Structure 1
Amino acid sequence: LANDETIAVAGPVLRASDRLDEQTLVATAQTRGQEHLLAISGRKILTEAVTDVLVDRGDQAVVANTANNGGARFSDHGFSGLVTKASDDPALAMKLWSRPDSPREVLVRLFVEASDAVRNQLATDATRAEIVELAVAQASDQLQANARAHSVDFANAKAYVELLHASGQLHEAQLHGFAKEGSFDKVTLALSLMCKLPLDVVERAFARKQPDQLLVLAKALDLSWVTTTTLLFMQAHVSGSSRPQLDQHLASFSQLQPRAAQSTLQSYRTKQRAAE
């Protein structure tokens, strides 16, 4: 019945039968049409093998319903597919934000990409766009905080960086070393403490595909171009951008006055306090 070509026959079985094993569900999802996939996506429990097929073969409705299913589990491949499809689908991105099992790095990147898409949709209504931006930012901050709370690597990095800061040993040399290691947690924690900004703000600066905010932070801290370059390469990796255009960024960095950068940094702090 589950494999019947007629959805009126197969649908109820695919959605509700506890007798269907993973192999049967995978085989059906690989061979039947979107209506069958949509029925499968509504099951109480979906294993990684099943969601891999749903994400790969499913249309917008199937993928959205799968992402919204609290009983669905996703492999690395499944999450990768969801991120790709969510980049052009703000509604799907919002569904992913609400999933507690989304990887930490994915949450940061999804927030930036999806929030831009949401703002683009509401661009004609500045007041409404501002409200949406604030609401999305608050939701993202909570999700990022939840992700950090369950990360052992983050806890270890936090203890180490905070110890350096408390002992007066957190300087550019340490930041440069963290960036060369490629340690996202240590770099963002260090910049957060050195700039006196919330960690969420620094993480979003790395997740954005535009480096302007990162250049402001670097100039405000009077970082060298060598350290700034290392940070730019890390940002490109985190945001999924292409290789940074160093000549163009160097020109912007050189023209930016330290006093102006520090003033902008202060405005970031003020804006964050107002949002809080």
Structure 2
Amino acid sequence: MMFDRLIALSQGKSREKRRDLLVLISELFTDGAETHTDAETRLFGDILCRLVDQVSVDVRAQFSERMAPLSCTPHAVALRLAQDEELSVSGVMLEQSDVLTDSDLCEIAGALSQGHLLAITRRRDLSETVTEVLADRGNAEVLEGVTRNETARFSDFGLKRLATRGLDHPTVLRALCKRADMPAERLARAIAAFDAEARGKLENLVALSPDFAALLVTEAADIARRQKQELEQEITALVRRIGQRLSTLDEAIDVFARDDRLDAVAELLVQVSGLEESHIANVLNHDNGYGIAVVCRSLGIGDKAYVKLSELRASHLTPAAVDIDAWIANYAEIDRQAADRALYFHRMRMAVLKAEKK
């Protein structure tokens, strides 16, 4: 009788017949889901997907509600329903289905509507890869939704992106601060990594919400201060080793260059040269290689170490500003005495300026 009914329904072309056939085949599938082979499951999935395209939105929505909670739903069916343009169909599947993979969710979140993204924010146990896409593409409602999802997880990259976009939506930052898995220190690290534009927005936020934004600024400043203190202590110990001839300045620069630590090189040059932090920062980040060449030559840094330092500097400057060959050639032309004289006059000028300020 069942097969006779299937044959009869398959011959009918009306939407009602297609609906009844969809319901009947889905019942056949779910009733024997535990015993189906992989090939049989794929066959059921192919048939159900074809029928889904032949029924009304209301029928698709009802079908999605039935299949979304089931772990046996064929992957092809779950994906077809999750990608449906009608949110009444896709929403429940995106929110509930365990069949959908992170790859599926990332693809959908990267291509479909904000309504689809909002449905994804209501899933349990959202992974870091999915929340990164939501933080990047979501509108204000999506950003707040994923932030308020207590089971969602965030990578450091996703957190920074969410915090940056939250500057335009303060409710998102407030929600981030209230998360149990988001201690102030972690959020402050993300804020400390803001670029100039983001920092400008944060300053504007201070004016709009002083109590909240001041807390974030204070936390970020504390993190930066502790990091600076740790770096100073590390370099002080290194300079002591260099003084004891257990290491050399060239070796230290080589290690820091390999580890991409321009900040450590800067602190090292400050401590061994006695020059101002602002001066060292300026010559390290200036596309003109003369200033840093004078400092390095005066300190007796070797040619090979200077090449390593030049490569490190180049990696932190815009490509258009990089001319390593010119930097190296310039270094070869500067002798130690000329470098010492240049720094002597620099120190004299700075001493005069300090005296005038007093």
- Greater relative contact order (Cα < 8 A, sep 6+): 1
Q: Which has the larger radius of gyration?
A: 2
